[in-house]
Amino acid sequence: MPTTPRSRSAPSGRVTAAMVAERAGTSIATVSLVVNGKDRGRVSTPIADRVRDAVEQLGYVVDHAASSLARGSGDLVVLIAPDLSNPFFAEVIRGVRDTVGDRFQLVLSVTERGEQPVDADVRRFERLRPAGILVDAPAESASMSASVPVVLLDAPGGPGAVNYDLTAGVQALVAHLRAAGHRRVAYLDGTSRATTFAVRRSLFEQACTTADITVSPVQAQADLTIDAAAGAVAPVVDAWLADGVTAVVAAADTLAYGVLRVAAERGIAVPASLAVAGFDDLPSSSVTAPSLTSVALPGAELGRAAALRLLATLDGVDAPDPALPTRLVPRASTGA
Amino acid sequence: MPTTPRSRSAPSGRVTAAMVAERAGTSIATVSLVVNGKDRGRVSTPIADRVRDAVEQLGYVVDHAASSLARGSGDLVVLIAPDLSNPFFAEVIRGVRDTVGDRFQLVLSVTERGEQPVDADVRRFERLRPAGILVDAPAESASMSASVPVVLLDAPGGPGAVNYDLTAGVQALVAHLRAAGHRRVAYLDGTSRATTFAVRRSLFEQACTTADITVSPVQAQADLTIDAAAGAVAPVVDAWLADGVTAVVAAADTLAYGVLRVAAERGIAVPASLAVAGFDDLPSSSVTAPSLTSVALPGAELGRAAALRLLATLDGVDAPDPALPTRLVPRASTGA
DNA sequence: CTGAAAGCGCTTACAG
DNA sequence: CTGAAAGCGCTTACAG
């Protein structure tokens, strides 16, 4: 810890506007204007050039803390997402980043494994005075309000949220299973408290009822990792088979991978003895053994839509708000 | 845009220390001390309690911008990582987050897909006055210096870096291939400019030379995604086979997945006609068709080691700096 | 066109 | 034990 007195501006390596101003022979006010591109018609060309030269030579960068303090808010956009072990979120992030672009700087925060973003997370990031906050798969959409604009992703029912329209995808999945002759299926749920999982389950159960397919009372759920899913499936897979289940639908592809792994270990033929399907359509779902049938949720699209909505809010204009379409990608794991 | 005059503190919903002080009947200096836990022996218990009550009632949170401006730096730790479509990074992040814990707030930044973190990324985040910056898989470790402590991850050769000892893993892989009778192999490289990829390749080639295995002159490389890998492999797979190649080693598991996919499409038996192996040992590598042999790089360990090193630097103590061990996980894709 | 000055919300010697 | 005040580095009316 340096003991340098604070009054002496010990050259901390940090270049300030004052240093730029001195070198350019102007005031820091002028430096601020030039650096922020607000010099048109306010600063003469020769002076502006001198400032730019000095900035270049000194490697000056506007201090974010000071700037956002003075301005009231900064150019940060915060995206709070659940644990990234689900590759789905990588896609969402990409969509957001490509959309907020250079205008804002995107920073991410991830929750503890298996946790959903909650109110307190939003609160913690308000401190940073971001331009806006995006929350992916929040636990409860109720009280996510803040002093900055907040957009919720994949938070069905919430206001100020962008969502998938899961109906089409789920119905296609159930129709697909029905056509393959399945009449009794199991559902492997996530332990996640994200509302989207409740929606997936209930839409699935509804569709099954309509299609005259029975959902097995033998329940299982797990964290969204392959290991956790395999651990949850191992104890119940025999009960499923004994119950006459011929297909299992998992709330996420990573969960479905766990089913595939247990089936492989037990020598249960997929799809002959047990069909398997998931949600997300992860990139790796095309190379599993067998390749996995999945309801495709385009993550990058979700990220893009959320970012557009935030930008629209910041600009004070109305945002289009279409629910994003989902579709079934049938593969070998259901005999496609 | 609100036109509120700045002088009137329009109740922006933001609670300030002044508001807390007024409610508690003290000064903002006292509020600051209490809120930062520096009140022991400096503030009387009844006053401290009144402050805490007021904080509670008002929901006061210290403003990050103002705090880090006044203090010189804040409690943020920034982790800059390449595009997250490689699930490997999720592990690294988890290791970092679990280690920096509650003392610091972790924020992430990801580069454009296929890009590596560069100097300019570090520069951009210095603005935030973080306590430290972690850079995963940087392009060049040379000039990554900043006004805050920087720790490089997976940046072989750099000073202030934490790394894997790839030797053991690579040698085990090559010995494994040799034992299975392979004498001519191909290497599928990543287009990534991260130095770790150069190291992987050169260690592999060295080990092959020693083991009297020939590396095919038929070259291929791709972005670290399954699609990109499949696209790069498709045009060369016949040439590999024609060249007498019996095994292909990919610089990352995601690349190896691309090989598996092309092999499946072409009806090339794995491992009978072509053995496949990768680096990373991703969770999904246990469920691919066939399951993938891989050099395991424990991502969470890397993140943990880097975070410990940063904490040590901040505390001014020496950091232990063991290279992290790697090992081979043999699976069906090489006939294990 | 230009700069002095107030203010953003904190933290921290310093003086009581 | 407590508070007034300076200072962190900017931005932005405002007065020249």
Distance CA A208, CA A225 (A): 26
Whole-number CA gyration radius for chain B: 26
Location of structure tokens 């896609």:
A91
Separation between the CA of A33 and the C1’ of D15 (whole angstroms): 18
Q: Are A333 and A290 a contacting pair, CB within 8 Å?
A: yes
Distance CA A141, CA A160 (A): 10
Distance CA A119, CA A77 (A): 17
In chain B, domain spans: 17-62, 71-163+300-324, 165-297+328-334
Inter-CA distances, B61 with B24, B131, B172, Å: 15, 19, 53
pLDDT tens digits along B206-255 = 999 999 999 999 999 999 889 999 999 999 999 999 999 999 999 999 99
pLDDT, greater one: B318 or A179: A179
CB count, 10 Å around CB of B215? 17
Distance CA A8, CA B25 (A): 34
Supply B333's token pair.
């894709």
Separation between the CA of A44 and the C1’ of C3 (whole angstroms): 14
Which of A247, A246, A253, A245 shows the shortest CA–CA distance to A229?
A253
Residue B13, pLDDT above cutoff 80: no
Q: Are B289 and B128 a contacting pair, CB within 8 Å?
A: no
8-state DSSP, A333: G
Read off the pLDDT of each residue in B55-71 and give the average, rounded to a whole number.
Answer: 92
SS3 content of chain B, % helix, strand, coil (to 5): 40, 15, 40
pLDDT, greater one: A81 or B4: A81
Residue B66, pLDDT above cutoff 70: yes
Q: Where are the beta strands (DSSP E) in chain B?
A: 76-81, 105-110, 132-136, 150-153, 161-162, 164-165, 184-190, 214-215, 220-222, 247-250, 275-280, 293-296, 324-325, 327-329
8-state DSSP, A216: P
Is A284 in contact with B286 (Cβ distance < 8 A)? no
B135: CB partners within 8 A, 6+ apart: B79, B80, B117, B121, B122, B144, B150, B151, B152, B153, B155
Look at the domain B71-163+300-324 and name its fold.
Rossmann fold (3.40.50)
Q: Which residues pair with B282 in a beta bridge?
A: none
Residue B4, pLDDT above cutoff 70: no
A254: CB partners within 8 A, 6+ apart: A85, A86, A224, A225, A226, A229, A278, A280, A282
Read off the pLDDT of each residue in B291-316 and give the average, rounded to a whole number.
Answer: 93
Residue B1: per-residue pLDDT? 31
Chain D bases closer than 7 A to any CB of the protein: 1-13
The HSE-up count of residue B163 (CA atoms within 13 Å, CB side) is 18
Please tell me if residue B69 touches chain A, with a CB cutoff of 8 Å.
Answer: yes
- The pLDDT confidence band at residue B327, using thresholds 50, 70 and 90, is very high
Q: Nearest by CB to B93, from A84, A87, A289: name it.
A: A84
Within 8 A of B129 by CB-CB distance, chain A residues are 63-65
B222: CB partners within 8 A, 6+ apart: B188, B190, B191, B228, B229, B231, B232, B233, B255, B258
Distance CA A225, CA B300 (A): 15
For residue A259, what is the nearest residue in chain B, using CA coordinates? Answer: B287
Question: Count of residues for chain B?
Answer: 336
Is B84 in contact with A62 (Cβ distance < 8 A)? no
Which of A314, A304, A258, A289 shows the shortest CA–CA distance to A95?
A304
Is B261 in contact with A286 (Cβ distance < 8 A)? yes
Q: If you measure CA to C1', which residue is closest to nucleotide C11?
A: B70
Separation between the CA of B49 and the C1’ of D2 (whole angstroms): 15
Please tell me if residue A264 touches chain B, with a CB cutoff of 8 Å.
Answer: yes
Domains A17-62 and A73-163+300-324 alike in fold: no
Helix axes B226-233, B253-266, angle to 10 degrees: 50
Instruction: Judge: domain A165-297+328-334, CATH 3.30.1330.20.
Output: no
Q: Is strand C in 7 Å reach of the CB of B153?
A: no
A116: CB partners within 8 A, 6+ apart: A82, A137, A138, A139, A192, A193, A194
Q: Which residues pair with B248 in a beta bridge?
A: B186, B276
Distance CA A107, CA B79 (A): 10
Dihedrals phi, psi of B292, to nearest 5 degrees? -100, 125
Q: Mark which residues 76-115 of A lie under 8 Å from B by CB.
A: 78, 83-85, 87, 89-91, 93-94, 97, 105-110, 112-113
- The pLDDT confidence band at residue B57, using thresholds 50, 70 and 90, is very high
pLDDT tens over chain A, length 336 residues = 333 333 333 345 688 999 999 999 999 999 999 999 998 888 999 999 999 999 999 989 899 999 999 998 889 999 999 877 778 888 899 999 999 987 899 999 998 877 888 888 888 898 899 999 999 998 865 566 777 899 999 987 667 789 999 999 999 999 999 999 999 999 999 998 888 899 999 999 999 999 999 999 999 999 988 999 999 999 999 999 999 999 999 999 999 999 999 999 999 999 999 999 999 999 889 989 899 999 999 999 999 999 999 999 888 888 777 799 999 999 999 997
Instruction: Judge: domain A73-163+300-324, CATH 3.40.50.2300.
Output: yes
Inter-CA distances, B227 with A282, B221, B224, B257, Å: 12, 12, 9, 9
Question: Count of residues for chain A?
Answer: 336
Please tell me if residue A9 touches chain B, with a CB cutoff of 8 Å.
Answer: no
Q: What percent of chain B has pLDDT over 70?
A: 94
Distance CA A237, CA A296 (A): 25
CATH class belonging to A17-62: mainly alpha
Is B286 in contact with A97 (Cβ distance < 8 A)? no
Distance CA A170, CA B53 (A): 50
Residue A211: per-residue pLDDT? 96
> What CA dihedral angle connects B110, B112, B117 and B120, to 10 degrees?
-100
Residue B140: per-residue pLDDT? 67
Whole-number CA gyration radius for chain A: 26
Q: Is strand C in 7 Å reach of the CB of B44?
A: no
Residue B156, pLDDT above cutoff 60: yes
Is A128 in contact with B65 (Cβ distance < 8 A)? yes
Dihedrals phi, psi of A42, to nearest 5 degrees? -125, -25
Please tell me if residue A279 touches chain B, with a CB cutoff of 8 Å.
Answer: no
Residue A271: per-residue pLDDT? 95
Which of B244, B223, B283 shows the shortest CA–CA distance to B89?
B283
How many helical (H) and strand (E) elements, i.e. helices and strands, does chain B have? Answer: 12, 14
Residue B192: per-residue pLDDT? 86
Residue A175's Cβ-count burial label (10 Å; 0-12, 13-18, 19+) is middle
- The pLDDT confidence band at residue B5, using thresholds 50, 70 and 90, is very low
Read off the pLDDT of each residue in B161-172 and give the average, rounded to a whole number.
Answer: 95
Dihedrals phi, psi of B319, to nearest 5 degrees? -105, 135
Residue A160: per-residue pLDDT? 79
Residue B8, pLDDT above cutoff 50: no
Location of structure tokens 């789920």:
A170
Reduced to 3 states (helix: H, G, I; strand: E, B; else coil), residue B267 is coil
Separation between the CA of B36 and the C1’ of C12 (whole angstroms): 12
Residue B114, pLDDT above cutoff 80: no
For residue A313, what is the nearest residue in chain B, using CA coordinates? Answer: B1
Please tell me if residue A8 touches chain B, with a CB cutoff of 8 Å.
Answer: no
Reduced to 3 states (helix: H, G, I; strand: E, B; else coil), residue B246 is coil
The HSE-up count of residue B187 (CA atoms within 13 Å, CB side) is 24
